[in-house]
Chain A
């Protein structure tokens, strides 16, 4: 309310003055996701430190040896924290008391200094009390976890340089394996993230990406193994098209229901997910079952496999480029084509879309089908590029993680690609983190969940980092129930 008032009061500058520079807009677009990510990692660090058994043992030990002075200092620490938070919440008030003008810049610096001082004071106090070893053990635990995460996902730079210098193929493969795996893991994320983002832009919350992804995998794997004797140049596009169509067909149903009778897509896509899961289970145990005891499909023909560029074990394949191409297409479609304009208008303001003569029902169905096609391609990519067959557990929740990706990427294709690369990297690094640092992979899920929470409730991040919200910058994720 206050914001709108301010906006109304703003003197309207004369025309011709320059608008916001492009870099400012980029900063504004990425600051919230980046801060959300940062905050999630900070919280994640605390969780890692506090769930480390060694740290916990040290902590209980230290507390048990505290004397009265120690407790008093602990209380003082708590007071410092509360005071620090208090000061950093109200810099303007304090600055004004101190006789400053309390401009935005001043209060921002004051705020940063106050926070840093508080942190320093708290650490100093804790060390004085005797928590030094606990802190360093915790920090070490976090360092090891995040270090392993980084190395497992991007690889070790020194090793890479050595491998390139040696020119040895096996060494190279080993050095670049982590980063190639990160790209492989990112690819389905890109497709699925684009699917959700496209839905968001049209005011639709497609929670059914996971189900559409399964259907896309089923149709493409079927085309992949059942048709034989085709050259790759035909077989691959055919299998890809089958996957996209499968996903689109699955998404068409909730899209049609929404457009025609106003049935909410959230409910229907969730329901369609279950049908898709059970359908794939049945198919893999029946019609599509490969002879043998495990419920998996037959392997696809070699002619349907997406080409890989490096010798084993590097699995990096052509699907990554298709994903980037899909992102470029979605960008063009959304922002450069008239259909994209319709889609975004329906998403941003359906009443205005109707007023402007747009066919809302058709647009909703189109948006759902495109979203489903992208989701289908995510599944297709996995079966044609990575697994070469379909097993029930082939998707590790890409469809659901993609919601976070679309949010993190602010429903912009470029943002989604960036977010997908990040999540793919985290995912592939998490395995190594588990092996090296004995930190369960689940911590990555926790961090992902925190990112979603912070992005979905941007007020938290805004309030922590004191970011004033620009009016009209809020994105529409989904429309209310019905109609």
Chain B
């Protein structure tokens, strides 16, 4: 049987880089084919070629046996290829129907939008594929998982039958991920074919029919979930054996370094984002805060680090009340902060690495003598840190913007962890990073813990929380619904709490006896 899509020897060069090196790839009818690879492996380039955003330098694209040239997304959709981007392309103030129609409007009388007919079509699609959505709802009111469904409906509305999903699970809760996998299974059962781009090993094994792994622009291998394990896939992706599990000793908690009591914080729109939260972090332990993004974790971290004012409650670091303290005072107490958005908060992208390394302590010796910055000292320190933290950069004068995400994060981690710190607040420390960098950063965090630093770790990735934490707190709608012992809890249970289940009544799919610890 002819494959529905075939890429033959696709090569794409950018100045100085071979982004895709003779990549061949086939997608069979009714198949979920996962494209796995680290950041920079060439996945996005390949998909952008398929979607008409780039032209390949060599090679051909064959759709249902016919060679095609794709110059634009319009061409792509004409041959039935549709793509759901990682960042949704929806207009929040328009309804589902309007968003779906956008660019492919159904008209009556040649000029008027036929919303009714479009909405009916959307309902039909919803029903057929199990993509539940209200056509009249406004996008801004919909949860992320539903927005993603709208994106998929957009493609089906345009009769796409080759669907490309780019990192579709990045923004979803575990339950939403399960729903998504059901949906894509129902799509392929009804004749669609699907390319699923990701770097998450577990999801690939759960959902794909076939897996192709890319590394440095080349296909390193093709396999199936039956033959592969997470370990083998990771090794293919990175090119060496990778430690997926972190070896760590049991925690030896010491005195309380961070104590948060009855904390209430507002977000930008003055809604209560953190609602009556109380917890402690002790020296030498990692408290992981799990929760779907947007449940108050950001505001919690900002309040603890002085970036945002709490409206009530107390924050106490090393015995000092810092509820309304400025960021610098908190930093000076020995707090390191790995912010959620490294490019927005943690780095000045236009600055050289050396200046970024000095960003927290530029004002005092050895970086500054009096009013004058000591560039020699800044450079010397940066050179040491670059080496010590294995930052891959041509020089310390290179602007942070030209580093890869992983190396940017290493710069930030180097700066924060190289100081003598008592408390580390790490918000999504491995967001968007590849397996190799994740492994490295996890090791560093555990190392800090073992040195007696208290760690507050915030991550929407349950795997990360489970791998690192000694205790796990779950946040839901601004409240800390439970704090549990990491050793005894199951992923399913945490997933339920993250989705809003009441810990008091939720039956534990207990691995063994589960201790729902009191908020200490």
Contact = CB atoms under 8 A, between A and B. Distances in A.
Interface of A: 2, 5-15, 17-19, 104, 336-339, 341, 345, 348-349, 351-352, 354-359, 468, 471-472, 474, 476
Interface of B: 14-17, 19, 39-40, 42, 44-45, 48, 54, 216-217, 305, 307, 326-329, 331, 337, 339, 344-351, 355, 359-360, 362-363, 368, 371-373, 375, 386-387, 391-395, 397-405, 407
Contacts of B395: 15, 17-19
A7 B402 contact: yes
9 contacts: A8-B40, A9-B14, A10-B16, A15-B395, A19-B397, A336-B372, A352-B348, A356-B327, A356-B362
Contact of B307 (A17, A336, A355): A355
Given A8-B39, A12-B393, A15-B387, A351 B327 contact: no
B70 to A, nearest CB: 16
B45 A472 contact: no
Given A352-B348, A355-B337, A15 B393 contact: yes
Given A337-B371, A352-B345, A472-B400, 17 more contacts: A10-B17, A11-B17, A12-B392, A15-B387, A15-B391, A17-B395, A19-B395, A19-B397, A338-B362, A338-B371, A351-B344, A354-B345, A357-B327, A357-B328, A357-B360, A471-B401, A471-B402
B15 A6 contact: yes
A9 B17 contact: yes
Contacts of B398: 19
B124 to A, nearest CB: 35
Given A19-B398, A471-B401, A355 B371 contact: no
B404 A472 contact: no
B350 A356 contact: no
Contacts of B48: 5
A14 B392 contact: yes
B238 to A, nearest CB: 15
A302 B359 CA distance: 50
A417 B372 CA distance: 24
Given A8-B40, A15-B392, A345 B359 contact: yes
A354 B373 contact: no
Contacts of A474: 350
A351 B345 contact: yes
Contact of A15 (B347, B350, B360, B394): B394
Contacts of A6: 14-15, 17, 19
Given A17-B395, A18-B395, A338-B363, A5 B349 contact: no
Contacts of B407: 12
A265 B16 CA distance: 43
A352 B368 contact: no
B190 to A, nearest CB: 33
B402 A472 contact: yes
A336 B348 contact: no
A471 B14 CA distance: 14
Nearest to A476: B350
A352 B346 contact: yes
Contacts of A355: 305, 307, 327, 337, 339, 345-346
A358 B347 CA distance: 14
A349 B348 contact: yes
Nearest to B392: A12
B432 to A, nearest CB: 11
Contacts of B39: 8
Contacts of A359: 326
Nearest to A93: B55
Contact of A349 (B349, B360, B371, B386): B349
Task: With a 10 A CB-CB cut-off, give which of A349, A354, A357, A472 has the most chain B CB atoms.
Answer: A357
B253 to A, nearest CB: 28
Contacts of A15: 386-387, 391-395
Given A6-B17, A338-B363, A356-B360, A348 B350 contact: yes
Contact of B15 (A19, A104, A345, A349): A104
A339 B347 CA distance: 18
Contacts of A349: 344, 347-350
A352 B216 CA distance: 32
A9 B373 CA distance: 34
A196 B478 CA distance: 44
Contact of B405 (A8, A18, A358, A472): A8
B337 A357 contact: no
A338 B373 contact: yes
Given A8-B405, A349-B344, A17 B394 contact: yes
A357 B371 contact: no
B359 A352 contact: yes
Nearest to A1: B53
Nearest to A468: B15
A357 B372 CA distance: 18
Nearest to B48: A5
B372 A9 contact: no
A5 B15 CA distance: 12
Contacts of A468: 15
Contacts of A476: 350
Contacts of B307: 354-355
Nearest to B15: A104
Given A352-B345, A352-B347, A356-B360, A9 B45 contact: yes
A451 to B, nearest CB: 24
Contacts of B305: 355
A474 B216 CA distance: 29
Nearest to A340: B373
